[in-house]
Structure 1
Amino acid sequence: MRNIKLLWGLTVILSAAVLVLGLLVIRLSGREQGLPDAAAPDPEAERVVAKIGGREFTLGVLEEQLMDKHGAELINQLLDREAVRLESERIAVKVTREEVDRELKRMQQGYDSEEQFYESMKTQVGMSKEEIREDVYYKLLLDAVATSSIKVSGAEVDAYIKEHPEEFHMASLLRIGVIVNKTADQAKRTLELFRSGKDFAQLAKERSLDTASAAEGGDLGWVEDNDPFIPQEYLKAARTLKVGDVAGPVETDGGFAVILLKDKKDQSKGSMEEIRARVTKQLALQKAPPLQDILQSLRKKYDAVILDPALK
């Protein structure tokens, strides 16, 4: 199970929405260079971009479909970001490159590498490295605007840390492989095959009932040793193993599992200074109005208006 963290606007900037913006820029720049205006026929809109059988698809049709599906989302995001930027300049708050780097590093926990994280984001949500970085920047900038006038005392931070010690202790990360069989006898047979030299990933693809993990060779990825979203029987078994060892049959709701501990490492929650900074921000955001309300207030403050009825 990958440690995927949702970003502000992550489900808004999709590849299709980015393409909408690109098409608009092309069309607008063309008009600036003396090409036909919106009232006249636009030759560029009639350019054929795809064919199938006897049917042709033009750039104009593609643009229309993309605008219908994603135009409103994109223009609203652009207005939100500009409102946040204007307010941050007014009150003189900034987000540094180092802050963005730290947030991206936190998001990458649970992935084998930075490259794997960005590849996963590209595959799952259609965002490039640059788009993710920009999204994180504006999320942090909104947080900074929202909490700029909110005070959190040292005593409040101390009390929170004291009341939630489990959030700050050194965590163990486990890389777990799992093969789920219907019966205990089938799981014992899986164990025999593995111990005789069969590849665990191949066995998972051939024998596991858990189709999601089987497609990954039984790999659940890096998970915390107390992850509430992983069957606790898996974690209990994995905690008793040395790297490379297997356990089973482990009875679960889904059947009988064979558990492989592929790797293990400790994960620091950061220095006390970093922990206190995170808690301070978290408590400040709890005191602040909802972020969506802040965005709406800023859009009103800076006179944001969507003029095209099709984009409302």
Structure 2
Amino acid sequence: MKYNRKPDTGTESSKKRKLKTRPLVILIGILFAFNIFWFVGWLMPNKPKQTDEVVASVSGEPITREQWMTAMEKEVGRETLLNLVNDKVMEVAADRYGIKVSDKEVNLEIALIRSVDGRSHSGQDEETMRQKIRSNLILEKVLTKDVVVKDGAIKKQYDENSALYNIQTAYRTAIIVVPTMDEAKQTIEELSKGSSFDVLAKERSMDLASASLGGDIGYINDSTDSIDKAIVKAASGATENSTSEVIELSDGTFAVVRVSEVVKGQSFKFKEVKDHIKRELALEQISQSVSPEAFWEEFDAKWFYGK
């Protein structure tokens, strides 16, 4: 590198410059070499180590992470991806058509669903449930945006079904059902020592539908008639994160009931549910049901599974 137009290698100043720049050149060289090694290492795949990782074994025979992930993709992969694509399609549709969905609207839908069918969202976490409802609201608003419904019809629907909009207190409930009193008492004892309710429900509950969900049977209230009355009675009036004593069911089995959440009842005035009722009446005028997949072509949606 030339610092002067005239060579002056013998001067004191040029020696000082060389002394100052030499460490910098060495440092740059080291960094350059390190980057090359890092880049080469990055190019060399280490995925075989990850996919060959043993996640379980039976009689010494390993089950690898690759086998596990492949099985999960076959079992739930398609449905999970379908939900993700549909949620995205609905968000794009909302932007395209200028549709808004507020948290207040989602809260209203959740309250109404819990009052009618508390089991419809059993096993789902709050975020998943809210996203599903939001996507459904967008779909309904897109489908009904041009449907005319008269105010008189909306008010009549409200007056004739006012009980639907007076929501009772709901209890998020889980159960463990066992055949004998002794097993129920043993379950209570294990829970008192810190055992997981979810795990025990999956291991021993006779109610297979809820057992796979850690005992969750969704939201129930005093008027729930699809659940054994003893369970409804045990849940009603319970506090959050409380577990019942052993209760006997109508079929002679025994159960332990846990309430994880209490949603206070509320009443909705006409103006609060007017848009909801209008949308419901508008949907009745649509001759066929429509799913988010109907919008895939419009919004150029593609996925791993093809058409």
Using the size of structure 1 for normalisation, the TM-score is: 0.49
Larger of the two Rg values belongs to structure: 2
Which structure's relative contact order is higher, taking Cα pairs within 8 Å and 6+ residues apart? Answer: 1
Using the size of structure 2 for normalisation, the TM-score is: 0.50
